[in-house]
Amino acid sequence: MRGWLFHVDTVVPLVRVQHIDVTRGPLEKMFGVATLVVHTAGTHNSIVTLPGLKPERAAEIRDIIREHVRTDFA
């Protein structure tokens, strides 16, 4: 189990963010949670996941990251 026994901190610079997804599989829907998935440039740790979020919170974080990515390139 990740997160309960082991803790991993991953920091992704905004300039490396390629796209962001909010996913909800059948079990996540059943438990009312979602996973935020950040796809980055590069090969090592190119997919960063943040599971167990409320769907509204996952969408909120996605939108915040999206706004920061837009302003960095504007």
Question: Could you tell me the pTM of the whole model?
Answer: 0.80
Q: What is the mean pLDDT of residues 36-40?
A: 94
pLDDT at 29: 96
Summarised one tens digit per residue, pLDDT across range 40-71 is: 988 777 899 999 999 999 999 999 999 988 77
Alpha carbon of 16 to those of 11, 22, 45, 53: distances in Å?
11, 18, 11, 23
pLDDT at 1: 47
Whether 12 contacts 72, CB under 8 Å: no
pLDDT at 30: 96
